[in-house]
Amino acid sequence: MREFSFSVKATDGAARLGACHTPHGVFHTPAFMPVGTQGTVKALRHPDLEDAGAEIMLANTYHLLLRPGDELIARRGGLHQFIGWRRPILTDSGGYQVFSLAHRRVITEEGADFCSHLDGTRQLLTPERATDVQARLGSDIAMVLDECLAFPATHDDAAISMRRSVRWAARARRRMLELRGGAGSGVAVCNPGQAQFGIVQGGVFPDLRAESADSTVEIGFEGYAIGGLSVGEPNEQMYAIAQQVAGRLPPEQPRYLMGAGTPDDLVECVARGIDMFDCVMPTRNARNGQLFTSQGRVNIRNARYAEDDRPLDPACRCYTCLHHSRAYLRHLFMAGEMTAGTLNTLHNLSFYLDTMRRIRDAIAFRTFDNFRQEFLLSASRLSLDS
């Protein structure tokens, strides 16, 4: 079984070009992980995802734990085997969905007590259970359970929550080491080479972020994530916290900014030393007809595209842009055809993954700052519709 490792190949300013080796192969950083909530990126087949350049997928523990269940997946040999995806997978801890989807949730020192949004069954997600569930799923990177604080929060609330997350992280790590030592009786470990990442919390407060980063690093993980950002705070605040925390984390380990963001956010946070990203934005927006292009954002529902024969993005080489016109994409969307979701998702993910590829090339050639200036000046943030 190959083990997890990470190496930085080149740097340009704070931006890093790296490679992450996992039991299911390598992914290159900075990396964007498409979100495959239920073990699939909605509307796409895995080969489409691979063709678009996805080297790693994210799957949601909360959803898979409730349906079809982690034990059922373990009996199929783990998530890779079950869903037929051979490349790396990262699973979250389930915490974020407990806080955003579950009913009647109560947080105690023990864990998060909640009722399933599917059938109301009562569940207790503890740091140990989140670790066990991800061991059964057999992802390549598992995340510790953390508390997701609502924004805005007071300094006192953020401090209490952050310190509980640190205690939970220590428990999750202890459990992980037990499983690795073969002491996790009753837990089928589907991927013995699984890595575990800690998560830095602390809201928008630099002193709490520093304390959280130091305490989490002291516990010791294979990589570190920054949680609790991209939850409604101003962009500049997100960038500042990402920069502060990245600078405090061990340089030889991967840094993952959870839940971000827009294409601009990716470029800006790579510039501050972030290596990994995930976000539902490209896939969710695609299904709503909101498309990212090199010339600006397109809302394909707009009547102005009804007889527009141009490709969605002339600079894009994805299947959608090579074969179809804006007029056809608008028609499919207005007619409620499932194919609209597929073609739109394929394009949006291609745009995100191409952007990451261009970022990696720019770091390799030490031209990242030029790339960044041009990217931010380009129309990518504008709407073509107005």
Q: Which stretch binds Zn ion (CB under 5 A): 68-76, 274-282, 298-306, 320-328?
A: 320-328
Residue 347 engages Zn ion in binding (rule: CB under 5 A): yes
Q: Which residues contact 177 (CB under 8 A, 6 or more apart)?
A: none
Residue 24 engages Zn ion in binding (rule: CB under 5 A): no
Helix H or strand E segment including 369: helix 368-377
Residue 244 beta carbon to Zn ion: minimum distance, rounded to whole angstroms: 36
Q: Closer CB to Zn ion, residue 270 or residue 316? A: 316
Q: Which stretch binds Zn ion (CB under 5 A): 102-110, 179-187, 260-268, 309-317?
A: 309-317
Residue 353 engages Zn ion in binding (rule: CB under 5 A): no
Residue 257 engages Zn ion in binding (rule: CB under 5 A): no
Q: Closer CB to Zn ion, residue 51 or residue 178? A: 51
Nearest to residue 302, comparing CAs of 241, 207, 212, 383? 383
Q: How many residues bind Zn ion (CB under 5 A)?
A: 6
C-alpha dihedral over 74, 76, 81, 82, to 10 degrees? Answer: -90
266: helix, coil or strand? helix
Residues that are catalytic:
92, 278
Burial-class residue 300 by CB neighbours within 10 Å (0-12, 13-18, 19+): buried
Instruction: Indicate which single residue of 321, 332, 353, 362 sits in contact with Zn ion (rule: CB under 5 A).
Output: 321
Mind giving me the DSSP string for 137-195? HT-SEEE-------SS--HHHHHHHHHHHHHHHHHHHHHHHHHHTT--TT---S-TT-E
Instruction: Indicate which single residue of 204, 300, 318, 329 sits in contact with Zn ion (rule: CB under 5 A).
Output: 318
Residue 102 tokens, joined: 């579950």
Residue 343 beta carbon to Zn ion: minimum distance, rounded to whole angstroms: 9
Nearest to residue 224, comparing CAs of 193, 195, 194, 256? 256
Instruction: Indicate which single residue of 190, 267, 269, 316 sits in contact with Zn ion (rule: CB under 5 A).
Output: 316
Enumerate residues 197-226 that contact Zn ion by CB under 5 A.
none
Binding residues (CB under 5 A) for Zn ion: these are 316, 318, 320-321, 347, 350
